[in-house]
Amino acid sequence: MSPDPPSSAFSTTGRCRKGEPWVWLTAAGLAIGIVMALGLFLLILVKGTESFWPHRIDLMEVVQGDRIEKIAGFVTQESQRKETDGTVHEEIQVFRGNKDLNGESFKYIDRAAIKATTRPESILLIERLEYGLAIVFPVALETPGGRLEASSGEFEPALEKLLEQGETARKKLLVIERKKIGAISLELEALGRAEKADSVAPDVAKARRAELQTSFDQLQAEAVAIRGKLAESSFMGTAADGTEVTYPAGNLLHVFASNRVGFVGRVGETLHRMWNFLSEDPREANTEGGVFPAIFGTVVMTLVMSLFVTPFGVIAAIYLREYAKQGIFVRMVRISVNNLAGVPSIVFGVFGLAFFVYTVGAGVDQWLFADKLPTPTYGTPGIFWASLTLALLTLPVVIVATEEALSAVPRGVREAALACGASKWQAIQRVVLPASLPGILTGVILAMARGAGEVAPLMLVGVVKLAPSLPIDDIAPFIHPERKFMHLGFHIYDLGFQSPDAEAAKPIVYATALLLILVVVSLNLTAILIRNRLKKRFAVSSF
Amino acid sequence: MSSSAPAPVPAARPDFIEVDKFSFHYGEKQAIFDIDMKIPEHQVTALIGPSGCGKSTLLRNLNRMNDLIEGVHHQGDIRIAGRSLYDPTVEVISLRKRVGMVFQKYNPFAKTIYENVIFSLRVAGRSKKSELDATVEWALRSAALWEEVKDRLHDSAFSLSGGQQQRLCIARAIANQPEILLMDEPCAALDPLATLKIEDLMLTLKEQFTIVIVTHNMEQATRCSDRTAFLYMGKLVEYGETMQIFERPAKQQTEEYISGRFS
């Protein structure tokens, strides 16, 4: 008989080995964090992309008292409403568009009241310049060449052609009204100032003014002609309840037969809508159109902010860590810098407004733009002051990260540089800084993430609901740091809480939030790529 | 070897480095007590002694590296070729250009091999390509590294092995033609083979430089030093020819230390 196997000298079983609960606890902490972050991101991702998907349009017959009302639209939300007597109604929120006819784009319908639902193939989803989406049955096109019934085979190609013509005409109008007429009024303004300052002879000014007036009139006439051409043709249709509608062809942006197009076509439509969202200017109190100016403003502001915060933060940290005599004073400075990170961001906004805008900006105006006063140039909120304010806000992040990075450089490397006859500054500049660059960039990345997502201070120092022009464009001097700008974060707040039609704006809010996240992530990814390349170049010895 | 090699120095001065009644304090704590010693030119002088005996402190005072630490002060004087290091008119930077240093832990910069070697020239503001090229070749040859790295001078210094990195540090220390080379346990982080290479190197380098080395390794001291100083508790116990110190030590403490009876 063989003896029992010897029992192991180590205890290997037991549900709760020493220290194990702590591992679980820390893992749980991480898991909760990941779940929360992922959940938020997924919600925004799903809702944000869903808002671009073209829904099928239902034609519903709804019992309203003793008559039957026809409503066309798509369901956006389902909910339950409890009456005081305890009965529960299933209610659906339907998007039916046609704000010009109905006053509101949304209607709440009791599910029990719906008698029948059909999906008519001919119904169209029409994007318009005004009043948002329209959902109508086409009837005819009225063109100078005659009337074209919707049943005829030439209807659709003709409509397509009209849309194309409308787009080119609108582009022309934009060039005429924004650029050419804008340039004329700019020159007129300058002429007025020159006259006031007596730097131009009155008769010369008069002649020039007349010239400008003629070209202004010409442009105006051109614009009127184009507009007239746009109004020549019109689209006629009937709404679901039978109301006849007529839209000037120039007001139509895009037509989509949602119930007729297959899956591939709808994916194409989704991409088309996404592209419009990214590339177009907002319309209709921002609830329609795209968010391009907001993307542009966010990116430019964040980059300018990094441009300012990085050198200042790095220089301050170098002095604090390398040159300042470590003592009570430096420790207090360090504590203050850390506390600065905890100051509510709106306080920075107030400071930025009071100091940058009203003090520095007003001073700049007095000094450089005195001829334009009392109209302020820099003495008013703008993207430059917003960037500076956020640079101040994110300064502690960069200082702390740089100090950490500097102190992580091994002493041996510094000593080696000094032993080679380098001065302290040479050692810092040639050896210590390159070695700590990845750490410094980590700080800049954190600062960018913080700055890009900040909204509250921006409201005071330069963000607006709708900026007519971008801070960088093709009008000399091309870069306009004094201009107000749009920002994705503020756009979310504005659409979600300040919009006249909050329901209609909801999908855009999700899409904008998703976009803001993507912008921040891509800015960060760029910085991380740069950091990794530098890490490879300046890797510190692993010994 | 190369045109940038120094002209032969006339006669070796026996009291090239003079440590004169030198005491050194880290704040309240005194690390070196009243040391007197003369280090001759073109010889290898080894400083031995147990940990904390002050040998590294003494070495690091020869190029005033200890100045970087806050709250240090000293009495007495150290002179190199008759000139006091602590003369207020002496610029520390120019001193360090005359006294190169190699550290216990090899510490190349995160740069290419080439840039590592010429670092001291770069900080001195010299940038003539031909001069830099000549210096790199001469310094790497002197550090017995040229044959191994001549084809990859523009690779990162970290691509080298530990022993090669330490020899690169030696090349970097001698690139600016210092007169003195300080070595603070240069082989502590190296394997025996790399150690042997560095020791061989010291024997050739002493023809050009005056070498002061701190070592914990008795065999190393006997193999490559001409003179040995034994320090204990911040005091110079015994100093003389290496042969004499190891074969006929005059002091009891020295004998006990080198025979391993205490450490």
Provide DSSP, A329-387: HHHHHHHHHHHHTTS-HHHHHHHIIIIIIIIIIHHHHHHH-GGGTTS-SSSS--HHHHH
In a domain, A63, yes or no: no
Domains belonging to chain B, first-starting first, are 17-258 (3.40.50.300)
B3, pLDDT greater than 50: no
Compute the average pLDDT of residues A435-447. 88
Tokens representing A3 are 């003896």
Give pLDDT, residue A119. Answer: 87
Nearest by Cα to A518 from A294, A286, A287, A282: A294
A14, pLDDT greater than 70: no
B82, pLDDT greater than 50: yes
All residues at 6 or more sequence positions from A167 whose CB lies less than 8 Å from its CB, including other chains? A253
Nearest CA-CA distance, residue B125 and chain A, Å: 10
Residue A149 β-bridge partners: A140
Give pLDDT, residue A388. Answer: 93
The DSSP line for A392-414 is HHHHHHHHHHHHHHHHTS-HHHH
In a domain, A249, yes or no: no
A318, pLDDT greater than 90: yes
How large a percentage of chain A has pLDDT more than 90? Answer: 17
Mean pLDDT, chain A, whole residue set: 84
Query: Do B162 and A434 count as a contact with CB atoms less than 8 A apart?
Result: no
In a domain, A31, yes or no: no
Q: Which of B65, B108, B165 sits opposite A415 (nearest CB)?
A: B65
Query: Do B103 and A435 count as a contact with CB atoms less than 8 A apart?
Result: no
Residue of B nearest to A428 (CA): B123
Which residues of chain A does B161 touch, with a Cβ-Cβ cutoff of 8 Å? none
Nearest CA-CA distance, residue A24 and chain B, Å: 39
Residue A521: CATH number of its domain: 1.10.3720.10
In a domain, A193, yes or no: no
A206, pLDDT greater than 80: yes
Q: Which of A412, A422, A423 sits opposite B107 (nearest CB)?
A: A412
3-state SS class at B193: helix
Structural domain total, chain A:
1
Distance in angstroms (rounded) separating the CA atoms of residues A72 and A9 = 78
Tokens representing A523 are 């800015």
Q: State the count of interchain CB pairs (< 8 A) between A and B.
A: 82
For residue B144, CA distances in Å to A277, B149, B157 come to 66, 10, 16
Compute the average pLDDT of residues A169-173. 85
How large a percentage of chain A has pLDDT more than 70? Answer: 95
A186, pLDDT greater than 90: no
Q: Which of B106, B122, B123 sits opposite A543 (nearest CB)?
A: B106
Give pLDDT, residue A163. Answer: 86
Distance in angstroms (rounded) separating the CA atoms of residues A527 and A440 = 11
A60, pLDDT greater than 50: yes
Query: Do A421 and B93 count as a contact with CB atoms less than 8 A apart?
Result: yes
In a domain, A284, yes or no: no
In a domain, A120, yes or no: no
Domain that holds residue A416: 292-538
Tell me if A463 sits within 8 A of A494, measured CB to CB. no
- Which range is least confidently modeled, A265-279, A460-474, A480-494? A460-474
Give pLDDT, residue A4. Answer: 58
Mutant choice from B119, B160, B172, B185 vs A, greatest count of A C-beta within 10 A? B119
Compute the average pLDDT of residues B22-28. 89
> What ipTM did this prediction achieve?
0.86
Which residues of chain B does A416 touch, with a Cβ-Cβ cutoff of 8 Å? 101, 103, 107-109, 169, 172
Task: Tell me the pLDDT tens digit for each residue of A61-106.
Answer: 888 888 888 888 888 888 888 878 888 888 888 888 888 888 778 8
Tokens representing A354 are 């009071």
Which residues of chain A does B173 touch, with a Cβ-Cβ cutoff of 8 Å? 419-420
Q: pLDDT-based confidence at A397, cuts 50/70/90?
A: very high
Distance in angstroms (rounded) separating the CA atoms of residues A203 and A337 = 61
Task: Tell me the pLDDT tens digit for each residue of B108-160.
Answer: 888 889 999 999 888 888 888 898 999 999 889 888 888 888 898 888 888 88
Q: pLDDT-based confidence at A387, cuts 50/70/90?
A: very high
Mutant choice from B91, B105, B116, B155 vs A, greatest count of A C-beta within 10 A? B105
Q: Which of B94, B100, B110 sits opposite A419 (nearest CB)?
A: B100
In a domain, A344, yes or no: yes
Which residues of chain B does A542 touch, with a Cβ-Cβ cutoff of 8 Å? 158
Give pLDDT, residue B11. Answer: 67
Residue of B nearest to A437 (CA): B110
Which residues of chain B does A410 touch, with a Cβ-Cβ cutoff of 8 Å? 107
Mutant choice from A325, A420, A433 vs B, greatest count of B C-beta within 10 A? A420
Give pLDDT, residue A17. Answer: 62
Mean pLDDT, chain B, whole residue set: 86
In a domain, A474, yes or no: yes
CB environment A248-280: b (16+ within 10 A), e (fewer): bbbbbbebbbbbebeeeebeebbeebbebbeee
